Structure 1
């Protein structure tokens, strides 16, 4: 094999280098052709091998890759530097929703403590898997780990495309899982949170009599339709058919909860989220009253009103701008405290409350899923089975009684 194999850092004096005892590593340098611009020979070198045989094997592989045109010279780019470059590229494509971009940034933040100073070329399956294992040990939820894993795969795939690395360390990686015990499953069922119908009535009464402006219409909409909070904040008057008693869900909203005037309307979460919700006369009446009050505010502030047709528009300051999700969360906590109801209830739990009430009325699971815009959702199913369980037992009892009477 053409090449020079040596120990560049050997400290043994004179002829003793042939019988090196200082533990220096082996390196190689090989000719790989002529530089097209200078006409001088091009050389590649690499070190860090324990034995001369290891160096010769690595050199042989490099020569084959050079002959086949598959050789990749991995640069000394750190994970932190490359992940930052990838994130800027990912963000600039304009094809990704802001919420997803934010999730990718969070995923990178979680990986940095384990990979940030490592060279991309030095990260192998063991190193990457260890990062996932450590994050799992910290107690991160499986959903969060899935987001981290998917982000890692995107980063290293891009590194492969850019010839920054030869092999993808995420290829055979996996998300660690803790096997659930019977007690875990029972505890999970017990923590399904939603408001019972009596609790919902108490909450809505507090929203009407002790709530802030717009509280009643906000929580009536969430409770009576099962829509997501982002869908509610994005809703426009043109989406409501007052004659047919229908609401069209065609969009959701994104904002960072800090800059009220900076928001973005996005397509719904999934294809099934684009849907029509039937509503009743009571909710229509509440909406009509709210629209009348909103028109008064619009007229008083006609010169500064952000007139973009939003239903849940601000009416005390920043007139006309859509409400943001964080404010709805604050209002929920406030009313829960006033009513002394379960403090763990969030605005999203009104979807679960909606499911429970529909299930209690005997509405089928598929009809409920269609109304909520779900293709599949484990929590929705759990709520449904929890509510309908007594009816199933009742059916079983009645069936047995019928047979006994024969």
Structure 2
């Protein structure tokens, strides 16, 4: 701050105090001033306060333009476009994440003005998540997306929202049955055989050629997943050139996006989930046999079915497109219900089943991680530890039975 003394027309001495500031919009140095009638210590202190107030008001007015009429919908749309071009995530990951963002529509009025948001209103909105029975992780993701939208507004409009860190979401405790189901999210060998037998029956009793082909492929998909432990998107992305039947190897180099290509055909091959997911695995004789059978079925379709377009994928529907993700889970669910199996079964259950089989064989954790493409050991360890603990319990039970029989 500096000051210039001057006299008015009436010969009265006044003091003009100046202060510099940098315009955030232009980067140029500007100045503001106030006039005081005296140059005392108290006057200089007051002048500084008034100057600071002026600068703050100027900066606020330049950055706040449009903020007072900004709705949450406008803010969300701006953030979404920014997120799509700025994130390094794959398109499929982006779409999955943004799907969770749409949950905000269920709990929050998108026409509400950002300037009117406050902690009581927002906390009440997020409490509504409890009515939808989403997982704890989904609830946390929804709140995370909301905070990212508001942070984007903060950066672009120069405003702050101190209540963001005080927001919370429902965090439900898992029931004993849910914990048990989560830990036992894999099939025993006899259960897997039951599922496969049921899918075979579905194929035999199917009412037309398309359905027979569908359940034939369901059978082989379920068996192949349990033998190799890949993700369903990875399996559906397998192309003929990924298979080396002579050396019994399979290169996993992509996953299927659930969208149409430029020709309107379902399924677009994308890169793997992460670097660890890109891998080449060894195949058993049975896995090679499954691939040969499916490839032969596709050759028959190319030859005889005019609806079939050869896109070079192996696990296909009657049109030559990768089979829809949900059709596999639908088949598993139908088989589960028919067999009165209690726990839910999905394609991911089959991935865990493969890990449990390898664990029971005594295969090392690192070898299992490499085979299934896990980058975080904790993901594999959860299944690995549970299965090995179960094996220890079975060992004790067998020793107890031996003790009773042998009498020693």
Q: TM-score, normalised by structure 1?
A: 0.70
Cα 1:282–1:124, aligned 2, differ >3 Å: closer, same or farther? same
Displacement of 1:102: 4.5
1:286 is aligned to 2:286 = no
1:148 corresponds in structure 2 to 142
User: 3-state SS of the aligned residue for 1:282?
Assistant: helix
User: 3-state SS of the aligned residue for 1:348?
Assistant: helix
1:194 corresponds in structure 2 to 186
Separation in structure 2 between the aligned mates of residue 100 and residue 240 of structure 1, nearest angstrom: 29
Cα 1:396–1:307, aligned 2, differ >3 Å: closer, same or farther? same
1:159 corresponds in structure 2 to 153
User: 3-state SS of the aligned residue for 2:388?
Assistant: helix
User: 3-state SS of the aligned residue for 1:253?
Assistant: strand
2:54 corresponds in structure 1 to 63
Q: Which runs of 5+ in 1 are unaligned?
A: 1-57, 399-406
Question: Which deviates the most, 217-226 or 338-347?
Answer: 338-347
1:118 is aligned to 2:121 = no
Displacement of 1:347: 1.7
Question: Which deviates the most, 97-106 or 215-224?
Answer: 97-106
Separation in structure 1 between the aligned mates of residue 247 and residue 171 of structure 2, nearest angstrom: 50
The structure with the greater share of residues assigned to helix is 2
Cα 1:275–1:125, aligned 2, differ >3 Å: closer, same or farther? farther
Separation in structure 2 between the aligned mates of residue 125 and residue 350 of structure 1, nearest angstrom: 44
User: 3-state SS of the aligned residue for 2:385?
Assistant: helix
Q: Write the mapping of 1:135-284 to structure 2, written as runs, cut at 5 A.
A: 135-136=129-130, 139-163=133-157, 166-169=159-162, 172-173=165-166, 175-176=168-169, 178=171, 184=175, 188-191=179-182, 192-211=184-203, 212-255=215-258, 261-284=265-288
Question: Which deviates the most, 337-346 or 227-236?
Answer: 337-346
Contact 1:329 1:347 in 2 (8 A): yes
Question: Which deviates the most, 99-108 or 285-294?
Answer: 99-108
Contact 1:333 1:343 in 2 (8 A): no
Separation in structure 1 between the aligned mates of residue 231 and residue 281 of structure 2, nearest angstrom: 12
Q: Which runs of 5+ in 2 are unaligned?
A: 1-48, 204-214, 399-408
Cα 1:234–1:395, aligned 2, differ >3 Å: closer, same or farther? same
Q: Write the mapping of 1:2-401 to structure 2, written as runs, cut at 5 A.
A: 63-66=54-57, 72-73=63-64, 74-91=67-84, 97-110=91-104, 113-124=107-118, 127-136=121-130, 139-163=133-157, 166-169=159-162, 172-173=165-166, 175-176=168-169, 178=171, 184=175, 188-191=179-182, 192-211=184-203, 212-255=215-258, 261-301=265-305, 305-315=308-318, 318=319, 320-342=320-342, 344-376=344-376, 380-392=380-392
Separation in structure 2 between the aligned mates of residue 299 and residue 291 of structure 1, nearest angstrom: 12
1:5 corresponds in structure 2 to none
Separation in structure 1 between the aligned mates of residue 307 and residue 397 of structure 2, nearest angstrom: 65
Q: TM-score, normalised by structure 2?
A: 0.70
Contact 2:200 2:216 in 1 (8 A): no
Contact 2:140 2:169 in 1 (8 A): no
1:137-176 CA distance string (max 9 Å, x none): 764322112221231232123223332x511457524544
Cα 1:196–1:305, aligned 2, differ >3 Å: closer, same or farther? same
Separation in structure 2 between the aligned mates of residue 59 and residue 324 of structure 1, nearest angstrom: 67
Separation in structure 2 between the aligned mates of residue 300 and residue 390 of structure 1, nearest angstrom: 51
Cα 1:204–1:321, aligned 2, differ >3 Å: closer, same or farther? same
Displacement of 1:300: 2.1
User: 3-state SS of the aligned residue for 1:203?
Assistant: helix
User: 3-state SS of the aligned residue for 2:103?
Assistant: helix
Contact 1:104 1:147 in 2 (8 A): no
The alignment covers a number of residue pairs equal to: 340
1:315-345 CA distance string (max 9 Å, x none): 3xx2x11111011112212332344434611
1:253-290 CA distance string (max 9 Å, x none): 12259x98233222222222222222201111121122
Cα 1:127–1:358, aligned 2, differ >3 Å: closer, same or farther? same
Contact 1:83 1:108 in 2 (8 A): no
Cα 1:138–1:109, aligned 2, differ >3 Å: closer, same or farther? closer
1:401 corresponds in structure 2 to none
Separation in structure 1 between the aligned mates of residue 82 and residue 389 of structure 2, nearest angstrom: 50
